[in-house]
Amino acid sequence: MRATVMHGAGDVRIETVPDAGLIEPTDALVTITRACICGSDLWPYRTMPQDEAGNRMGHEFIGRVEAVGADVTTVKPGDLVVAPFAYSDGTCVFCHEGLHTSCLHGGFWGRNGVDGGQGEAARIPLADGTLVALPVGEDDALMPSLLTLSDVMGTGHHAAVSAGVEPGKTAAVIGDGAVGLCAVIAARRLGAERIILLGRHPDRIALAREFGATDVVSERGEEAVERVRELTGGLGAHSVLECVGMEESLLTALGIARPGGAVGRVGLPQGQSIPAAMMTFYYNVTVGGGVAPARAYIEELLPDVLEGRIEPGRVFDMTVDLDGVPDGYRAMNDRESIKVMVNP
C-alpha cells in the first residue's frame, strides 16, 4: 500500500510500505477514506534531521472497517469509523478517568510499527477502545467536521474545559490556527459570553468571528496583554485557551488571565519551562491543560456535529489526494492553508 513518510525537514514522500493487516485479535483493519495534516506535523517538517528510514505520518483519520480480529465487538466490517490521534483500550484506570492519552496500553500512530493516518489503510490496535462508528455514509457532507473530532475539535474543547469556560464568562483564545478556531467554537458552545481572539491573519479572524469570537486582538506580547486588559475593564479574562505552544504565547496567556482565572494550554510546548511563576502565584492563576484526550470527547461532541450546531470542518481550506500530501505540508507551512484534508 502507499503511505506518507517523512525523511527530514521539508522532505515528505509518498512511498510503498508493507500492507496493513490484522496482527492481534483486538485489531481492526481500516481503509482510510479521509485524513488530514496537523499543525503539529509541521514541527518535524521544519526541524527533523535527515533519516533514510523515515517516519510514517498522520494521526487524524476516518476509515471504513475491512476486517476485525476475533476479540473485537464494537465495530464490524463495513462500518465507517473515526479514530482519535491516540489509540487506547478504553478499559484501564486512566481511560476510565477520561485520560485516554495516558492509557496504560495505548500509543500514538506512526510509531513502533503502527501505521500512520496519511496513507491508504491502517491497522488499528485496541479497536474496541479506539474507534467510534459514525452513522453516516463515507461521502456525507459532514465528513470534514467529523474528521476534526480526531484531533483539532477535541483539542480546542480540551483547552476550553481546562480553562474552566462557563456561561457568562470571558474567554480569550490565543492562536488563529485550526485548534484556535476550534477553541473559539468550544468556548461558545460552553457558553462564554465574550470571546477574545488573539490572532493576526484576516481570513482566519473572519472565520473566528463566524464561529463566535466577539473581539479580536492582533497586537503581540506586552501590547496584546494591555489590549486585553483594556477590553476587560483592567481585570483580564476568566479563561485563557492557549493554542500555540510558543514561550511568547504562553507568557501572553498567563499575562491576560485575571486573578483566580485559568489557562488551558493545548499548544505543543516548544520550551521546557512555564514562565511567570511569581505573577501566577500571587494572582492564583491555574495553569492546566495538556495533550487532549480526544477519544474522551468524541461521544459528547458528535451529536453537535451531526445536528449541525457546530461546523468545525470549516477550518479545512484545501484538499489533496495522497500524491498531493507533500504539497499540502508545504501549503500549511507557508501559511497558504489553515488545514489540509487528504482524500486518498
Q: What angle do CA 91, 106, 34 make, to 5 degrees?
A: 105
Cβ 222 to Zn ion shortest distance, Å: 43
Binding mask 32-71 for Zn ion (x = CB under 5 A): ----------------------------------------
Shorter beta-carbon distance to Zn ion: residue 126 or 262: 126
Write the DSSP string, 88-101. Answer: --S-SHHHHTT-GG
For Zn ion, the closer of residues 92 and 291 by Cβ is 92
Q: Is 89 in the site for Zn ion (CB under 5 A)?
A: yes
The continuous run of DSSP H or E covering 59 comes out as: none
Number of residues that bind Zn ion (CB under 5 A): 5
Of 10, 102, 5, which Cα lies nearest the Cα of 48? 10
- Which of 103, 146, 216, 241 binds Zn ion (CB under 5 A)? It is 103
From the list 4, 26, 88, 145, which residue makes contact with Zn ion (rule: CB under 5 A)?
88
Q: How far is the CB of 77 from Zn ion (least distance, A)?
A: 25
How crowded is the C-beta side of 78, counted as CA atoms within 13 Å? 0
Binding mask 114-133 for Zn ion (x = CB under 5 A): --------------------
The whole-angstrom separation of Cα 320 and Cα 127 is 27
Applying CB under 5 A, which part among 52-60, 97-105, 282-290, 316-324 lies near Zn ion?
97-105
Taking alpha carbons only, the member of 107, 108, 103 closest to residue 92 is 103
Angle at alpha carbon of residue 182, lines to 144 and 296, rounded to 5°: 85
In the complex, the smallest distance separating the C-beta of residue 21 from Zn ion, rounded to whole angstroms, is 24
From candidates 95, 208, 331, 341, binder to Zn ion by CB under 5 A: 95
CB-neighbour burial class of residue 163 (10 A; exposed 0-12, middle 13-18, buried 19+): buried
**95-116: b (≥16 Cβ within 10 Å) or e:** beeebbbbbebbbebbeeebbb
Using rule CB under 5 A, residue 26 touches Zn ion? no
Residue 337 in contact with Zn ion, rule: CB under 5 A? no
Q: Which of 42, 67, 92, 276 binds Zn ion (CB under 5 A)?
A: 92
Binding interface with Zn ion (CB under 5 A): 88-89, 92, 95, 103
